[in-house]
Copies of this chain bind each other. A is one copy, B any other.
């Protein structure tokens, strides 16, 4: 597989794939006689994993470190495992934080909903309330 096809199948651009090779995220690819990169399909698995690390916010230099360890063979497994465990802990913490923020967003949005109701009530006159007033969360901004 050449770089164009890998780009299509991985969702990265050819530019990015070359960049990743340059910085050591992807192993140096074999070249054919025209010095075009010739990829094995198995690289897709690795790229997919890198994508997971990226999505979860691992900095590139850390991914590079992981890639280097992987390259160094089985002796580095313990260290790789520790890296992933540390990373997992960070991601879990981040998810918890996001869920916290989601609650805040919910409250805020509920506050706007309450305002809508009051405006609607105003528009349609004192007797025109469509929703009971109690729907609004009192502490909402």
Contact = CB atoms under 8 A, between A and B. Distances in A.
A41 to B, nearest CB: 16
A9 interface: no
Given A98-B56, A98-B91, A102-B91, A81 B49 contact: no
Interface of A: 49, 52, 55-56, 74, 77-78, 80-81, 84-85, 87-88, 91-92, 94-95, 97-99, 101-102, 104-106, 108-109, 112-113, 115-116, 119
Given A81-B109, A95-B99, 12 more contacts: A49-B104, A52-B101, A55-B101, A56-B98, A56-B101, A74-B115, A81-B116, A84-B109, A88-B102, A91-B102, A95-B98, A95-B102
